[in-house]
Structure 1
Amino acid sequence: MITDRGDWTIARVPAHSTAMAAAPLPLLDATWLAHRYDPGHDAFHLRRVPRETHRAATFLTDEYLPEDSAAPLVVRRAEARAAAPAPAPLHWIFHSAFCCSTLLARALDRPGAAMGLKEPAVLNDLIGWRRRGDPGPDLATVLDDTLTLLARPFAPGEAVVVKPSTIANGFAPAVLTLRAESAALLLYAPLATFLGSVAKKELEGRLWVRTLLTGMLDDGLARFGYAPRELLALTDLQVAALGWLGQQRLFTELVERFGPSRVRTLDSATLMARPREALAALATLYRLRFDDAALDAIVAGPAFTRHSKFGNAFDAAARAAEHRDAAALHAREIEVVVRWAGEVAETFGIALAAPAPLLG
């Protein structure tokens, strides 16, 4: 049963799908993905997902993971945590969508150094559970155990970098508090580019930004004083701009609360113009072992030369041309909404360029 939508569908976990695993469990290595969480039974659904499947999947959701004839391993939360190996360093890419976040998570798949987890569905489950207000165990404790399961390394010495879906950004303060050693990159597209991406996706993109803003209102991340009737009167791109501004305000609050030694920001235009510098700075933030040869290989590799979602050849020039086409087609609407959003940002003291940039 579908109960909410954000970047991707949030569905209730089927409570009757399979039986609980018998204890004691063997050590649950990183190939056992903590895929879903069922608050009714306080249990994780684990799926066998080897590294190659992680690499090939656009996102770690049912839509993109290959069909598996085997039922998931359903393990009570306490038992799953007890069976997890020692955690790896855990870091984050929080993003406001359409900003090369999937590209960056793919780039961090470097055996021996790091592995990027792309939008694990289990975090969507926790957000959906919180928004519905369903009964269950203490959310902070469940989130803490979820972080332990996400932090299982694929190889000795590796870090894990999680790129949640945008709908999970409301968890950012909690996860950075629960894991004091974690660092986070806050990634966003310039507003005009973001609006062009929304418009380019036509009906799907325009519906998505309305659903996103609804969730942000539930999470207290879109406090702009609009009554429900006033929000309904806004155009699709105005709604998109309010969501973007809410993310920018959250990013500023995260930098102020946790400091630039742990939290830095980056816009997608800078990432694509200076990919090697951005990766080197990100490796420093995350304390990853990326030497010059590794940086050169990543920039020349598929993350920066192929489309993150479709796999076709797609480099920085192709990306820029796509954005130009979208901007030209919707130029008047984007121009009007950018001007309006600037006035909203000024009223609420929101910086259009986030503080503590990763690159000077």
Structure 2
Amino acid sequence: MTLLVELRANCVIKTDLLVSDPDWIPHGIDIKSGIAHFLRFPASAFAGEGFLADYTPETALDTATISLDELAAMQPEAGPLHFIFHTAFCRSTLLARVMNIDGVATGMSEPGIIASLASAGNAGAHLIEPCLKLLSRRRTGPDGAVQAVFVKPTNHANSLIPALMHAAPDAKAVMLSNSLSAFLRSVNRKGLLGRRWARNLYLEVQSYAPLDLGISPQEHFLLSDLQIAGLAWLLQRRWFEANMKGTNGLRMRSLDSAHFNDARSASLRAIAQFTGLDIATAQIDRAVRSEIFQTHAKLGGNYDLRKKLASADSSSPVFREESAMVEQWIGQIAQQAQVGANGSFESRSLI
């Protein structure tokens, strides 16, 4: 009984500690109950595999809850914050992990609070600014204070891009994407769950950045899984272009996943220059030679081996034929919708 009382007492964390200690990060909000959840993250969590949204604390002492009113009233001392927005399956987790450079930056891969804010919609809009300020506080590393925090939200929260950029007026954003063929291969490798995921993504993006295809709701049922996946990719790219043409466009730069992989040092230098990081060549060299590039960013293990096995299991002449047809079809839709017509996406590329 005494231990239980002690645990309950310790879990009631004072609000001022949540504000001052950057190890405590907002994890999620519950609009109905009026509660905000916080987790205490060790420094090792940020460069590790997987997403912060999936992190499980070791003990109850690493969890805390406060009211949404308390969260809204928080005024933490914010630091420089930047974003990595992405269209999925494009090495965004890898980039977030590699941005954990001692004394330079901290990278956060998909903190749960961003997805939670997106799910809350307008009811959570007033909480975006304090949450971003709380995320930006991770200012220390083994070699001292870092210069900035890079947050990579889930692409399921891309509807929040304008709101996130507005709430962080000094933030820069890397708009990371890949080719349609690479996107379709990734969806196919994940089998039934990947195809279902793509259909869900299409419905999401159509809800905030719709494109009239000139077909009825019933005719959508006639589209194949890969056609829907291709549309989900196109709508995301279109949404990125719309944001890069908008009010916050000058604070955004595109980065192609393949270019990032082929020119790792140049990509990191370009990101550093764009966001104002002071980083030495030796630090970039260490980052690109680190084991992070050899391990799977989400699952761990050897990346090349995992990719080889996955490709062998999922590739087939039937898929390659369908993929080629979908790419041609999406290209025609993109031309009609004038996606990429003025080159705004590519013209504002980091490299």
**Smaller-chain TM-score range?**
0.7 to 0.9
Q: Which moved more, 1:238-247 or 1:175-184?
A: 175-184
Spell out, residue by residue over 1:179-209, the C-alpha distance to the aligned partner (whole angstroms, 9 max, x if none). 2211001111100111111111111110100
1:183 maps to which of 146, 150, 172: 172
2:278 maps to which of 289, 306, 311: 289
Give the partner amino acid of 1:142.
Answer: L
Query: RMSD value over aligned CA atoms?
Result: 2.7
SS where residue 197 of structure 1 aligns?
Answer: helix
> Whole-Å Cα distance in 2 between the matches of residues 320 and 345 of structure 1?
31
Give the partner amino acid of 2:125.
Answer: A
Q: Which moved more, 1:204-213 or 1:52-61?
A: 52-61
Spell out, residue by residue over 1:82-105, the C-alpha distance to the aligned partner (whole angstroms, 9 max, x if none). 556411111011100000000000
Spell out, residue by residue over 1:42-89, the C-alpha distance to the aligned partner (whole angstroms, 9 max, x if none). 432111111112322410123x43553447211224434655641111
Equivalent pair of 2:27/2:37 in contact (CA under 8 Å): yes
* Structure 1 portions without partners, runs of 5+: 1-17
TM-superposed CA distance for 1:249, in Å, is 0.7
Give the partner amino acid of 1:232.
Answer: F
Question: Residue in 2 aligned with 1:264?
Answer: 253
> Whole-Å Cα distance in 1 between the matches of residues 126 and 277 of structure 2?
28
TM-superposed CA distance for 1:245, in Å, is 0.6
Question: Residue in 2 aligned with 1:254?
Answer: 243
Question: Residue in 2 aligned with 1:356?
Answer: 347
Closer/same/farther in 2, CA of residues 202 and 343 from structure 1, 3 Å limit: same
TM-superposed CA distance for 1:152, in Å, is 1.3
> Whole-Å Cα distance in 2 between the matches of residues 321 and 284 of structure 1?
37
> Whole-Å Cα distance in 2 between the matches of residues 348 and 181 of structure 1?
32
Question: Residue in 2 aligned with 1:52?
Answer: 44
Question: Residue in 1 aligned with 2:64?
Answer: 73
Equivalent pair of 2:79/2:139 in contact (CA under 8 Å): no
Report whether the alignment pairs 1:34 with 2:23.
Answer: no
Matches within 5 A, 1:1-12: none
TM-score when normalising by structure 1: 0.84
Matches within 5 A, 1:34-183: 34-62=26-54, 64-70=55-61, 72-80=63-71, 85-130=76-121, 136=123, 139-155=124-140, 156-183=145-172
Percent identity, aligned pairs only, is 31
Larger Rg: 2
SS where residue 25 of structure 1 aligns?
Answer: helix
TM-superposed CA distance for 1:272, in Å, is 0.9
Q: Which moved more, 1:318-327 or 1:88-97?
A: 318-327
SS where residue 52 of structure 2 aligns?
Answer: coil
Closer/same/farther in 2, CA of residues 41 and 35 from structure 1, 3 Å limit: same
Equivalent pair of 1:28/1:85 in contact (CA under 8 Å): yes
SS where residue 342 of structure 1 aligns?
Answer: helix
TM-score when normalising by structure 2: 0.86
Matches within 5 A, 1:299-338: 299-314=288-303, 329=317, 330-338=319-327
TM-superposed CA distance for 1:355, in Å, is 2.8
Give the partner amino acid of 1:93.
Answer: I
TM-superposed CA distance for 1:118, in Å, is 0.7
Give the partner amino acid of 2:103.
Answer: G
1:213 maps to which of 202, 212, 233: 202
TM-superposed CA distance for 1:280, in Å, is 0.6
> Whole-Å Cα distance in 1 between the matches of residues 278 and 210 of structure 2?
35
Closer/same/farther in 2, CA of residues 318 and 273 from structure 1, 3 Å limit: farther
Q: Which moved more, 1:217-226 or 1:105-114?
A: 217-226
Q: How many residues align?
A: 335
Question: Residue in 1 aligned with 2:3?
Answer: none
Question: Residue in 1 aligned with 2:187?
Answer: 198
1:25 maps to which of 8, 16, 38: 16
Q: Which moved more, 1:347-356 or 1:101-110?
A: 347-356
